Amino acid sequence: MVSSSHEGLHRIFQERPEILAPVFRVLGLPFPEKATLDALTPDVTETKPLERRIDTVLRIGPSDGDDFLLAIEAQGARKPDKESSWPYYVAHLQAKYRLPVLLLVVCQDLATAKWAAGPFDCGVRGWTTQRTHPLVIGPDNLPVITDQRTAAENPAMAAFSALAHARSRHIDGILEALGRSLQQQDPEAADYFYEFLDINLRDTAAGDKWREILGFVSYFPGRGTVRETAYLEGKAEGKAEAEAEARASMILRALEMREIHVPDDARERIASCTDLDTLGLWFDQALSAATVDDLFAGTPAPSTDTADAS
């Protein structure tokens, strides 16, 4: 079974194929400016008892050459069984589609990336029958993207930068740049990258930092999303409550400085008021009032149970 974090890691290739161009540049390989991309079935099962599934398989049709297949695997740790399953994937896909195959492995740490680069040989007594040499991207060759403009131009690459460098000292800068850049994205794209990192950085220090960033800044301004609405409503409510408390405190302080006696019921009335206009009026009157009754002049008295009954 593929985990949700594993799923999130390779979905970006299928839904955002533009990531392939900068990734290929990192690897030093040419990638056509114009190409068709088709997601193929990742199932390479030959017999029911043996299930094998590749994360992502893309058929790439460059405008300037022949089609080829790109098989993409996400690898979070070293797994020796991959040394035999990866060659199987390549051989099976080549035989099934009659096309050349490239295998790209996405790693999250240097040790895994070094191992994944192979090559993995199948042979006997010095004779190699088959050699598998994956392409690998990871923290050693994915750039550290801490510039907001760069992140805005290629948010997919910035997201992978965050993933690959999640344990480095640069991670805060990467996440902050990406977070700011999402303000410039359309709602669907911004929401996608939010979810992508939230899933893949889960239960890590980088994940805590990402959620902290999103807790202070709305990345969906003016778009009416559920997340934005909830955020803005909560922010507005909290700001209004803080402003009311501050004004009530100023009124009581002004009365105290002028040595005007404030009974408990009057103090409660001031402290519990949440209407900012009323509090503003009371503050103005507190500067000249002779008694606390003068403070409330022109303001309807609060209703009581007794008054309601009468």
Domain regions of the chain by residue span: 1-141, 143-219, 226-303
pLDDT at residue 87 in the model? 93
The per-residue pLDDT for range 248-293, each reduced to its tens digit, is 888 888 888 788 899 999 999 999 998 888 888 898 888 888 888 8
Q: Which residue has the higher pLDDT, 301 or 43?
A: 301
Q: Which residue has the tokens 């114009």?
A: 34
Rounded distance, CA 245 to CA 271, Å? 7
Q: With 80 as the cut, is the pLDDT of residue 240 above it?
A: no
Q: How far is CA 272 from the centre of its chain?
A: 40
Query: By the 8 A CB rule, do 193 and 182 touch?
Result: yes
Other beta carbons less than 10 A from residue 202's beta carbon: 15
Of 55, 56, 17, 51, nearest in space to 34 by CA: 17
- Rounded to two decimals, the pTM is 0.56
Among 64, 75, 60, 74, which residue's Cα sits nearest to residue 21?
60
Residue appearing with tokens 């100023």 = 250
Give dist(CA 143, CA 103) in Å, integer.
21
Share of the chain above pLDDT 70, in %: 74
